[in-house]
C-alpha cells in the first residue's frame, strides 16, 4: 500500500498570506495525485488532480506541483473561505489518502 504523509499537520496563517502544504508518497505515484478541501460538516471537494490541474470552478489561487514522491499545494493568498482541512490522495496503486493538513486562522 502506498502511504501518503502530509506536513505540517496544522498551519496557522492570516488571510492574504501564502499557504504551502506538502504531501510525500512512500513510493513514486508519478503524477497520480490529487488535493481535496474539506470544511466541517461537508464532503470533500476536489481542487487539484493529476498533480497540477485545477478542477472545474476552482480559483486560480490554488495550484499544485510535484511528481514522483513529493508534491505541494499552494494557496497564493488565503481567503476567509480557504480555512479548512486539505487532503492529498493517490490513484497510482489503488487509492489512499493522506492524514490531512488543517489550515487555521492565525
Partner 1 sequence: QVQLVQSGAEVKKPGASVKVSCKASGYNFIAYYIQWVRQAPGQGLEWMGWINPNSGGTDYAQKFQGRVTMTRDTSISTAYMELNRLRSDDTAVYYCARPYCDSSTCYLGWLDPWGQGTLITVSS
Residues lying near partner 1 in the complex (CB under 8 A) = 1, 32, 34, 36, 43-46, 49-50, 53, 55-56, 87, 89, 91, 94-100
**How is the beta sheet containing 62-67 ordered, strand by strand?**
4-7, 19-25, 70-75, 62-67
The least distance separating partner 1 from the CB of residue 6, rounded to whole angstroms, comes to 9
Q: Which helix (H) or strand (E) holds 19?
A: strand 19-25
The least distance separating partner 1 from the CB of residue 103, rounded to whole angstroms, comes to 15
Q: What single DSSP character describes residue 55?
A: P
Cα within 13 Å of Cα(98), Cβ side = 32
Using DSSP bridges, classify how beta strands 45-49 and 33-38 pair: parallel, antiparallel or unpaired.
antiparallel
Measured from the CB atom, the residue of 26 and 77 that comes closer to partner 1 is 26
Measured from the CB atom, the residue of 14 and 42 that comes closer to partner 1 is 42
The least distance separating partner 1 from the CB of residue 76, rounded to whole angstroms, comes to 22
Cβ atoms of 11 and 106 within 8 Å: the answer is no
Measured from the CB atom, the residue of 14 and 37 that comes closer to partner 1 is 37
The least distance separating partner 1 from the CB of residue 85, rounded to whole angstroms, comes to 9
Amino acid at each position: 500500500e502506498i502511504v501518503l504523509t502530509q506536513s505540517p499537520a496544522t498551519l496557522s496563517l492570516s488571510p492574504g498570506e501564502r499557504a504551502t502544504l506538502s504531501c510525500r508518497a512512500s513510493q513514486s505515484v508519478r503524477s497520480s495525485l490529487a488535493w481535496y478541501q474539506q470544511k466541517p460538516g461537508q464532503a470533500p471537494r476536489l481542487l487539484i488532480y493529476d498533480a497540477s490541474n485545477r478542477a472545474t470552478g476552482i480559483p486560480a489561487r490554488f495550484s499544485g506541483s510535484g511528481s514522483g514522491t513529493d508534491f505541494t499545494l499552494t494557496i497564493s493568498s488565503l481567503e476567509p473561505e480557504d480555512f479548512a482541512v486539505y487532503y492529498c490522495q493517490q490513484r497510482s496503486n489503488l487509492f489512499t489518502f493522506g492524514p490531512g493538513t488543517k489550515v487555521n486562522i492565525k
